[in-house]
Amino acid sequence: MNIDFTINGTKASVDVPAEMPLLWVVRDELGLKGTKYGCGKALCGACTLHVDGEAVRSCSFPVSAAAGKTVTTLEGLSPSEEKLHPIQQAWIDEQVPQCGYCQPGFMMAAAKLIKDIPNPTDEDIRSNISNICRCGTHPRIIKAIRRAAELQRISATL
Ligand code: FES
Ligand code: FES
Cβ of 32 closer than 6 Å to ligand 1, yes or no, is no
In degrees rounded to 5, what are phi and psi of residue 48? -65, 130
In a shared domain, residues 93 and 68: no
CATH code where residue 146 lies: 1.10.150.120
pLDDT at 130: 97
Q: How many CA atoms lie within 13 A of 69 on its CB side?
A: 16
Cβ of 120 closer than 6 Å to ligand 1, yes or no, is no
In a shared domain, residues 92 and 122: yes
Tens-of-pLDDT digits for all 158 residues of the chain? 799 999 999 999 999 999 999 999 999 999 999 999 999 999 999 999 999 999 999 999 999 999 999 999 999 999 888 899 999 999 999 999 999 999 999 999 999 999 999 999 999 999 999 999 999 999 999 999 999 999 999 988 87
pLDDT at 4: 98
CA dihedral of 82, 37, 130, 92, whole degrees rounded to 10 = -30
For the chain, the first-to-last Cα distance in angstroms comes to: 46
Which amino acid does the sequence have at 13? S
pLDDT at 158: 76
CATH code where residue 71 lies: 3.10.20.30
Q: Return the number of other C-beta atoms located less than 10 Å from residue 48's C-beta.
A: 30
Report if pTM > 0.85.
Answer: yes
Give the distance (Å) from ligand 1 centre to CA of residue 137.
Answer: 18
For residue 115, the enclosing domain spans 86-157
- Which residue out of 39, 129, 134 has the highest number of ligand 1 atoms within 8 Å of its CB and is therefore the one to mutate? 39
Proximal ligand: closest to the CA of 130: 1
Give the distance (Å) from ligand 1 centre to CA of residue 136.
Answer: 17
Q: Report the candidate in 74, 27, 44, 42 with the shortest Cα–Cα distance to residue 135.
A: 44
Of 34, 58, 76, the one marking the end of a domain is: 76
Q: Calculate Rg over the CA atoms of the chain.
A: 15
